[in-house]
Chain A
Amino acid sequence: MSVEKTGGPSNYEYVSARVRARRAKLFAEEDYRKLIRMGPGEIARYMEETEYEDEINALGSRYDGVDLIEYALNRNLAKHFEDLLDWAEGRLYTLIARYLRKFDAWNVKTALRGIYSGADSETIAEDFTYAGEFDRQFLDRLAEAGSIEDAVELLDGTRYGEPLAAAFEDYEESGVLIPLENAADRTYYEGLIEGATKSGNRATQLYAEFLQAEIDFRNVRNALRIARSGAEIDPEDYFIEGGDLFDASDVAQLSGNVDELVTFVRDSSYGDDLSDALNELERADSLIGFEHALDAALLEYSNHLSHVFPLSVCPVLAYILAKEREVENIRAIARGREAGLTETEIEDELVIL
């Protein structure tokens, strides 16, 4: 029992039992197959009969169609992830909270984008996902900030304070949001890995390895996007520290050429796990397929870990990923139907294990 002294022992048994039960309730392949054939209204009605019932009923009078589905999905996601933090104690709590900070970064970016586009505070607040470390009042104040400068000042004192303040100068010079968004994302990823590798327990080491894989995949994705867009962007600006596949200079060198990058990844330690994804990239020459294959590989790996280490943070992590995937899949179906895509086109957008 290697447990950090802060906050008492972790209750892995309790949390992983609950998480497994919730995981079993996620939509299966048949559900998706049914959903693909439905229109937005029918999807909402279908969701009403599943665990999304509360959210659909609560929001049903205010929104309809795809908006209803989207808000219901977001709210449900936030509810489930908040539950996770409610249950967890001790070190387990720290590990989960660390991962859920993703939503803080998301909320910060939402607020910045909203303010930039001149949306009013209510519209911004509607788009928040209340699943991270920031509480509701703080986020509401963030949504009410009159200008980007005010928002950055509000965030001063949080972990995003310093990087955002530094990026704010770039923003003032260039007038585009990218430096600020980038700073938020990088703060999240760098905080994620920090301290995770030092602890000795095998399951925690695997957790760290998993996070490293996620960072590496993110870097591969960014590098590929830069390489394919052919834009004059310095890839080092977008490089996230903490992975073990690249360092910043590798990325700078490789992102000029897609083929070299693919060979590099194929020869790396991820080669086996990603061979499907890489084949897909070469076959279809499409980034979307590759990115979905990356997601599927990550999902599969987390699943595998949750079976190997049932009493660790791994099942929780696998659940978080699977739930996010479900939300993204349903959203893709609803949006796809609305835009009039065919069933096969929508199916290509889904990531199903």
Chain B
Amino acid sequence: MYEFVLAFVESSVLLAQDGAASGGPAFTAEAAAALSVGLAALAAGYAERGIGSAAIGAIAEDESLFGTGLIMTVLPETLVILALVVVFIVG
């Protein structure tokens, strides 16, 4: 995971330098909004990892739990939806 973060920081530093050269802000509001959605999705994915594996375990034992398992697994998705609000506010 750290490699991704490093790669991200490196490319954003480049972006910042480009922005500084052309006179505009280094990191535009749209870019920040996009970043917030991305981070929210990352966190949701991490949360779903644990819930998903527990849900699969429960479904393997008792198939009637499929519905409950599915709902529990996608609950953290609400994080991404809330983060999307930021895009509308900024855009």
Contacts and interface: CB of A to CB of B under 8 A. Distances in A.
Contacts of A15: 57
Contact of B61 (A11, A21, A311): A21
B61 A13 contact: no
Secondary structure type dominating chain B contacts: helix
Interface string B46-57: 000011011111
A122 B83 CA distance: 66
A17 B55 CA distance: 7
B58 interface: yes
B53 A21 contact: no
B63 to A, nearest CB: 11
Contacts of A13: 50-51, 53-54, 57
A87 B61 CA distance: 13
A87 B60 CA distance: 12
Interface string A1-35: 00000000001011111101110000000000000
B62 A21 contact: yes
Contacts of B50: 13, 311
A1 B88 CA distance: 36
Interface string A64-89: 00000000000000000000000100
A18 B56 CA distance: 9
Contacts of A17: 53-58, 61
A103 to B, nearest CB: 23
Interface size class of A (residues with CB under 8 A): 10 to 19
A18 B53 contact: no
Contacts, number: 32
Of A11, A17, A311, the most chain B CB neighbours within 10 A belong to A17
A14 B61 CA distance: 11
A81 to B, nearest CB: 16
Contacts of B54: 13-14, 16-17
Nearest to A25: B61
Nearest to A87: B57
A105 to B, nearest CB: 30
B53 A11 contact: yes
A197 B17 CA distance: 53
Contacts of B62: 21
B57 A22 contact: no
Contacts of A22: 61
Interface in A178-213: none
A347 B55 CA distance: 38
A21 B62 CA distance: 8
A16 B54 CA distance: 7
A11 B60 CA distance: 15
Contacts of B61: 17-18, 21-22
Contacts of A11: 53
A20 B54 CA distance: 10
Of B51, B55, B57, the most chain A CB neighbours within 10 A belong to B57
A15 B57 CA distance: 7
Nearest to B51: A13
A19 to B, nearest CB: 8
Interface string B12-28: 00000000000000000
Contacts of B58: 17-18, 20-21
Contacts of B55: 17
A107 B29 CA distance: 69
A21 B63 CA distance: 11
A13 B53 CA distance: 6
A11 B50 CA distance: 9
A189 to B, nearest CB: 31
Given A17-B61, A20-B58, 5 more contacts: A11-B53, A13-B50, A14-B53, A14-B57, A17-B55
> When A and B form their complex, which 7 residue pairs have the shortest distance between CB atoms, in order from nearest?
A17-B57, A21-B61, A13-B54, A17-B54, A18-B57, A14-B57, A14-B53
Interface of B: 50-51, 53-58, 60-62
5 contacts: A13-B54, A16-B57, A17-B54, A17-B58, A21-B58
Interface of A: 11, 13-18, 20-22, 87, 311
